[in-house]
Structure 1
Amino acid sequence: MERRAFLRTAVVGAGSVALGFTMTRESLAYPAQTGPSPYGNLLPADANGIMLPQGFTSRVIARSSQTVSGTSYTWHGAPDGGACYANGTGWIYVSNAELGSGAGGVSAVRLDSNANITGAYSILSGTNRNCAGGTTPWNTWLSCEEVDRGYVYETDPFGVNPAVRRDAMGRFKHEAAAADPDRQVIYLTEDESDGGFYRFVPTTWSNLSAGTLQVLKESGGVLSWANVPDPDGSPTRTRKQVSGMKVFNGGEGAYYRNGTCFFTTKGDNRVWAYNAVNNTIAIAYDDNLTSNPPLTGVDNITGATVGDLYVAEDGGNMEICIITPDDIVAPFLRITGQSSSEIAGPAFNPAGNRLYFSSQRGTSGSSSGGITYEVTGPFRTAL
Structure 2
Amino acid sequence: MERRSFLRGAVVGTSAAAFGFTLWQGAASAAPAQPGPGPYGALGPADSNGILLPSGFTSRVIARSGQKVGSTSHTWHKAPDGGACFADGPGWIYVSNSEINPGGGAGAVRFSSSGAITGAYGVLSGTRQNCAGGSTPWNTWLSCEEVSRGYVYEADPYGVQSAVRRSAMGRFKHEAAAADPVRRAVYLTEDESDGCLYRFLPATWGDLSLGTLQVLKAGSGTSGSFTWGTVPDPDGSPTHTRNQVSGAKRFNGGEGCHYANDTVWFTTKGDNRLWQLNLASNTYELAYDDSLVAGGSAPLTGVDNVTGSASGDLFVAEDGGNMEICVITPDDVVAPFLRISGQSGSEITGPAFSPDGSRLYFSSQRGTSGSSSGGITYEVTGPFRA
> How high is the TM-score relative to the length of structure 1?
0.93
Question: 1:123·1:162 contact (CA, 8 Å) conserved in 2?
Answer: yes
The offset of 1:23, in angstroms, is: 2.1
The offset of 1:27, in angstroms, is: 4.9
Say if 2:127 is the partner of 1:88: no
The offset of 1:205, in angstroms, is: 0.3
Question: 1:30·1:282 contact (CA, 8 Å) conserved in 2?
Answer: no
Question: 2:317·2:348 contact (CA, 8 Å) conserved in 1?
Answer: yes
What's 1:345 paired with?
350
Question: 1:319·1:343 contact (CA, 8 Å) conserved in 2?
Answer: yes
Q: Which amino acid aligns with 2:5?
A: M
Q: Which amino acid aligns with 1:76?
A: H
Question: 2:25·2:262 contact (CA, 8 Å) conserved in 1?
Answer: no
CA deviation profile, 1:187-229 (whole Å, cap 9, x unmatched): 0000000000000000000000000000001259541100001
The offset of 1:172, in angstroms, is: 0.1
What's 2:61 paired with?
60
Q: 355, 358, 365: which one pairs with 2:360?
A: 355
What's 1:319 paired with?
324
Question: 2:66·2:373 contact (CA, 8 Å) conserved in 1?
Answer: yes
Say if 2:283 is the partner of 1:280: yes
The offset of 1:305, in angstroms, is: 1.3
What do you get for the CA RMSD once the two structures are aligned? 1.1
In the aligned structure 2, how far is the partner of 1:85 from the partner of 1:61? 16
Misfit runs of 4+, over 4 Å: 27-30
What's 2:39 paired with?
38
**Count of aligned pairs between the two proteins:** 362
In the aligned structure 1, how far is the partner of 2:354 from the partner of 2:234? 34
CA deviation profile, 1:283-337 (whole Å, cap 9, x unmatched): 0000011131100001100000110000000000100000000110000000000
In the aligned structure 2, how far is the partner of 1:241 from the partner of 1:69? 48
What's 1:179 paired with?
179
Pairing of 1:262-301 with structure 2 (within 5 A): 262-291=265-294, 292-301=297-306
Question: 1:69·1:117 contact (CA, 8 Å) conserved in 2?
Answer: yes
Say if 2:188 is the partner of 1:188: yes
Note closer, same or farther for the CA distance 1:366–1:225 as it changes in structure 2 (3 Å cut). Answer: same
CA deviation profile, 1:215-251 (whole Å, cap 9, x unmatched): 0012595411000010000000000111110110000
> How high is the TM-score relative to the length of structure 2?
0.92
What's 1:138 paired with?
138
Q: Which amino acid aligns with 1:176?
A: A
In the aligned structure 1, how far is the partner of 2:182 from the partner of 2:136? 12
What SS is found at the alignment partner of 2:118? strand
CA deviation profile, 1:244-294 (whole Å, cap 9, x unmatched): 101100000000000000000001100001011111001000001113110
What's 1:147 paired with?
147
The percentage of aligned residue pairs carrying the same residue is 70
What SS is found at the alignment partner of 2:385? coil
What's 1:247 paired with?
250
Question: 1:133·1:141 contact (CA, 8 Å) conserved in 2?
Answer: yes
Question: 1:82·1:95 contact (CA, 8 Å) conserved in 2?
Answer: yes
What SS is found at the alignment partner of 2:217? strand
Question: 1:107·1:123 contact (CA, 8 Å) conserved in 2?
Answer: yes
The offset of 1:89, in angstroms, is: 2.9
Say if 2:236 is the partner of 1:233: yes
Note closer, same or farther for the CA distance 1:329–1:219 as it changes in structure 2 (3 Å cut). Answer: closer
Give the unaligned 5+ runs of structure 2: 8-23
The offset of 1:24, in angstroms, is: 2.9
What's 1:49 paired with?
50
What SS is found at the alignment partner of 1:23? strand
